[in-house]
Amino acid sequence: MRLSQVFLSDRRYIDKIVSFINPHNEDVFLEVGPGMGNFTFEFLSKGCEVVAIEVDKFFCEMLRLRGVDVICEDYLKVNVEGEIRKRDINPPIRFFSSVPYHITHSMLIKVCKERRLYSDIHLILQMEVAKKITSQVNTKSYGAFSVLMQALFQISLLFNIPNTAFSPRPRVHSSLVKLIPKPEMFHIDENRFLKMLNAFFKKRRRKMKNVNPHIPGELRDLRPENVPVNIWINLYISQK
């Protein structure tokens, strides 16, 4: 397993994912971690333009030999806006990645920072992560990251993918998730918002008033997991 990445090899699921993404002629995709190009060449065959970011030099060379525009770097270190504008591409563009397990959290934070660049974002995530970012208020899995992602994006968990569809076979199952950035939330600083959320959710069994005595009265006797996303947004705005 190279760099904790696994590759979707079941043709049925590749076709199903491409169908859900529904690439159109002249769409522009940023693809992170294309590997052998199972999705890259599907997008290209539909008349799309693809800018790929791949950290593995072996895959970079293989894709370049087949004519793919590849940035051979760690996505977490790439200035995506600079790279697409260098190519005379104007955002928003589309984003796709089968997210490497070891960078999932860091990658999602970077996608949050870059959200103005994307019209839609399709991610293959570990099922556990997909469930976490779509968790609803008043559930055990609802946490700081659930609130952050739901505040900034419209999120759809499209379908689950069994571990048998991947090679090498991982221990966990995966899900295809679609994110659509909310333009009305572009003013939110994702790092400041997450810092505020973490301060409360790290003490999730405590009432809000015991974490911050200055909390508004209607929230004082609630626990963090009882507070819906829109109220968290209002709380963040009131503290700016």
Q: What is the CATH number of the domain that holds 171?
A: 3.40.50.150
Whether 7 and 61 map to the same domain: the answer is yes
Which residue range is the domain that position 165 belongs to? 2-186
Q: Tell me how far apart the alpha carbons of residues 147 and 142 are, in angstroms, rounded to a whole number.
A: 8
Q: Are residues 78 and 162 in the same domain?
A: yes
DSSP state of 185: G
Rounded to whole angstroms, the Cα distance separating 59 from 43 reads 17
**Are 203 and 112 in a shared domain?**
no
Q: Which residues of the chain have pLDDT under 70?
A: 1-5, 240
Q: Both 155 and 216 in a single domain?
A: no
Query: pLDDT per residue over 4-14, tens digit each?
Result: 568 999 999 99
Helices (H), the chain: 11-21, 40-45, 57-65, 80-86, 104-113, 127-133, 144-152, 190-201, 208-211, 229-239
Q: Does residue 115 share a domain with residue 55?
A: yes
Kindly state whether residues 129 and 207 are assigned to the same domain: no
Whether 12 and 89 map to the same domain: the answer is: yes
Residues 115 and 198 occupy one common structural domain: no
Q: Closest by alpha carbon to 123, among 110, 139, 140, 141?
A: 110
